[in-house]
Each structure stands twice: as structure tokens, then as C-alpha cells.
């Protein structure tokens, strides 16, 4: 199937629901908090990447690729869902994973192993001094595969390309339609930000609808360490051009808070642990320690600081990441 003339495969259960969080709202004294359940997209335990992969894998199939190559951390949600999408569509996958191979397979890496995908470990993506070594390792493996007759399709970390981000342009349209049907007006939308593609897609959709709502990113990475992705406003405008719209997103439209990532990507903060426990105990919803836990911690802090008025409506975008909880048992619960 196609959308805007662009190939698309169906991978996600859509639309995902939005629901109120009344207990969390009462606990924090307002504003009114809702949640977009993109943890319920269905593919391989769910998550936001299913929306992006519908278009990325659509193009891969159109190009007659037989192997999908992508990049991420050892516990990457994106890699887990890319591998699952490849399996579902009868394709092979190569996951280029940052860091050392773990002694014990758990979390996302366990699921990668269960699915039988190929993986290649390279130095930490955030260590600039290792980029040349990483590039050589990837180049050599890619050459081996292509020399062996494999047709590769490359997806950058997070699936953050205009094509992938189109999935979140549609998510913004979907969410605003749901809000209209329910009878609420969303003032602010909060989402975890890493490579920036999800926020860019949401911003593109909001701009397309001429909505005044803010799309607020809570970064889980040190500022500037988004693996080479373009600025979010640039990515949002690229989504518009892909579908023939001039959105005119400006840098001033991009709101990202860099105060909540702690010591770095994948490093749990006390505030993140508090947020995970609070939401699970008040609403029965789990967040993960790498993305949604930090994003929720940031949103809670902004609420406590009086950033939003009590009568405003906030929507938290739950981007999934459940398998990422399990390697962090000691951080979440102690010994």
C-alpha cells in the first residue's frame, strides 16, 4: 500500500489509545495529564519505532532489499523493533550495537538473540575518538554481505529520516483527531528526545494542522550527542517537503529540555526511578529507565516548577521500551 504515493507496510496496531491519568494529575495538583499509548503498537512488545518502520521497510521492500542494517545501543528499542519487522516481512537483519557484548543476554538484546538476527559490536557511539574504528568495522562487514550477494537497506539510529519521521507526522494527526472526538484541547505534548525524529514528526503534524500546542522534548542524551541527526526544525520541514507541504518550522518552535539526562544516555537518575515508581503505583503503567522514565521525570519537574497552569492539558507520549526495564533491576529496586 502507499500513502502520499510513498510505499508503506502495516506493522503497528493503530490508532493507539489516549487516556487520562487522573491519579497522577491529582498527585501533582494539575495540570490535566493524558497519555498517548504508543507502547501499545504491538510489534515485538510495542513502541514508537513501529510507526517509522512502516515507511522505512516499505521503501526497503520496494528496493528489493533482503537485509536490513541499523544501529543502536545494546539495549536499543529501535534495533529490537527493526529486527522484529524484518522477521515479519521475511527479511534478514544486521544490528550494529554500541559497546561491549554483555555477559548475559537480557532485555532487548535477549529478544534480538531469540529472533536470530545477526549483530556486530562496535565501540561506544558517543566516543568520537572511536568513530574511524567503528566505520571500518561496519564497512568491512557490509562489504562481506554485499560481496555475498545480499541486498542491504541501511536505517540510521532511531530511524530518524524524513521517511521514518513521517510516521510521527501521522501520529500527531491521529492524536489531534482523538482529542477532538473526546472533547479536549491539548496544550502541550511531551516526548522523550534522543535522535529527535519522533519530536520532529510530531512538530510537523502539529504545524500542518495549525495547532498552537507546544511539542516539548525531554532529552535523554547530552546536548549535541544525537548521532549526527539534523536539527529538529530541519527534520520537521523535510517531512513537510516529502509530502508536498511547506511547513516553515523555525528553530524557535523547537523546545527541548536538556536538564534531565543525568550522567548520560542509559544512566539512570534518582528522578527517573521516582517517576517510574510513581506512574506504576498510581496508574498501573510502566515506563523504562532510558527514555520514558527520564521524559516523565522531566515533565513532573516542569509541573512542580509551575511551568504549566492547572487548567492546561498535557499529553505524555509513551514511546514504549518495556524490555529495557529488566537490565535495570538493581537501579529500580536495589539488591
pLDDT tens-digit series, residues 186-218: 999 999 999 999 999 999 999 999 999 999 999
Q: With contact defined as beta carbons under 8 Å apart, do 46 and 206 qualify?
A: no
Query: What would the pLDDT profile of 240-252 be if each residue is shown by its tens digit?
Result: 999 999 999 999 9
Residue by residue, DSSP assigns 4-18 as: TTEE----S-SSPPE
What confidence tier does 2 reach under pLDDT thresholds 50, 70, 90?
confident
What pLDDT is attached to residue 114? 97
What confidence tier does 1 reach under pLDDT thresholds 50, 70, 90?
confident
- Give residue for cell 536499543: 76
Task: Please confirm, yes or no, whether 76 is among the known catalytic residues.
Answer: yes
- Output 267 or 126, whichever has higher pLDDT: 267
Query: What would the pLDDT profile of 87-136 be if each residue is shown by its tens digit?
Result: 999 999 999 998 889 899 999 999 999 999 999 998 776 666 666 777 77
* Measured torsion, CA atoms of residues 61, 63, 64, 70, in degrees rounded to the nearest 10: -70
Query: Which domains does the chain carry?
Result: 2-48+161-333 (3.40.50.1100), 49-159 (3.40.50.1100)
What is the C-alpha to C-alpha distance for residues 269 and 277, in angstroms, rounded to an integer? 13
What pLDDT is attached to residue 335? 46
What is the C-alpha to C-alpha distance for residues 270 and 280, in angstroms, rounded to an integer? 16
Whether omega for the bond prior to residue 11 falls within 30 degrees of 0, making it cis, is: no
- Give residue for cell 516529502: 242
* Measured torsion, CA atoms of residues 224, 229, 234, 239, in degrees rounded to the nearest 10: -150
Of the listed ranges 13-27, 38-52, 137-151, the one predicted with least confidence: 137-151
1's grid cell: 500500500
Q: Could you tell me which residues come within 8 angstroms of residue 84 by beta carbon, excluding any fewer than 6 positions away? A: 43, 44, 111, 115
Active-site entry in 76, 98, 194, 229: 76
Quick check: 225 pLDDT over 70? no
Query: What would the pLDDT profile of 291-329 be if each residue is shown by its tens digit?
Result: 999 999 999 999 999 999 999 999 999 999 999 999 988
What pLDDT is attached to residue 333? 87
- Output 287 or 72, whichever has higher pLDDT: 287
Distance of CA 295 to the CA centre of its chain: 11
What is the C-alpha to C-alpha distance for residues 36 and 319, in angstroms, rounded to an integer? 8
Phi, psi of 33 (to 5 degrees): -110, 130
What is the C-alpha to C-alpha distance for residues 82 and 115, in angstroms, rounded to an integer? 11
pTM for the model stands at: 0.95
What pLDDT is attached to residue 131? 62
Amino acid at each position: 500500500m502507499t500513502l502520499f504515493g510513498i510505499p508503506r507496510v502495516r506493522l503497528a496496531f493503530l490508532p493507539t489509545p489516549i487516556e487520562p491519568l487522573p491519579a497522577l494529575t491529582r498527585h501533582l495538583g494539575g495540570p490535566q495529564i493524558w497519555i498517548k499509548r504508543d507502547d501499545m503498537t504491538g510489534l515485538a512488545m510495542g513502541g514508537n519505532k513501529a510507526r517509522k518502520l512502516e515507511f522505512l521497510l516499505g521503501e526497503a521492500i520496494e528496493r528489493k532489499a533482503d537485509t536490513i542494517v541499523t544501529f543502536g545501543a545494546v539495549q536499543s528499542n529501535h534495533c529490537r523493533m527493526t529486527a522484529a519487522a524484518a522477521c515479519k516481512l521475511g527479511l534478514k537483519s544486521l544490528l550494529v550495537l554500541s559497546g561491549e557484548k554483555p555477559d548475559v543476554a537480557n532485555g532487548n538484546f535477549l529478544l534480538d538473540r531469540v529472533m536470530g538476527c545477526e549483530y556486530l559490536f562496535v565501540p561506544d557511539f558517543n566516543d568520537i575518538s572511536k568513530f574511524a574504528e567503528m566505520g571500518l568495522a561496519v564497512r568491512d562487514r557490509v562489504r562481506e554481505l554485499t560481496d555475498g550477494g545480499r541486498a542491504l537497506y541501511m536505517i540510521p539510529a532511531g530511524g530518524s529520516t524524513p521517511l521514518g519521521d513521517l510516521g510521527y507526522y501521522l501520529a500527531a494527526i491521529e492524536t489531534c483527531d482523538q482529542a477532538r472526538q473526546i472533547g479536549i484541547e491539548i496544550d502541550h505534548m511531551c516526548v522523550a528526545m534522543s535522535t529527535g525524529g519522533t519530536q520532529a514528526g510530531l512538530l510537523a503534524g502539529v504545524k500542518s494542522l495549525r495547532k498552537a500546542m507546544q511539542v516539548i522534548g525531554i532529552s535523554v542524551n547530552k546536548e549535541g550527542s544525537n548521532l549526527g541527526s539534523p536539527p529538529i526544525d530541519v527534520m520537521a520541514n523535510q517531512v513537510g517537503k516529502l509530502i508536498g507541504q511547506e511547513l516553515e518550522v523555525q528553530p524557535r518552535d523547537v523546545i527541548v529540555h536538556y536538564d534531565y539526562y543525568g550522567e548520560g544516555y542509559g544512566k539512570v537518575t534518582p528522578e527517573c526511578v521516582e517517576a517510574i515508581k510513581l506512574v506504576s503505583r498510581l496508574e498501573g503503567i510502566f515506563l523504562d529507565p532510558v527514555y520514558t522514565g527520564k521524559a516523565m521525570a522531566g515533565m513532573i519537574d516542569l509541573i512542580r516548577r509551575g511551568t504549566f497552569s492547572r487548567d492546561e492539558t498535557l499529553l505524555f507520549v509513551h514511546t514504549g521500551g518495556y524490555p529495557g526495564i529488566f537490565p535495570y533491576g538493581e537501579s529500580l529496586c536495589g539488591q
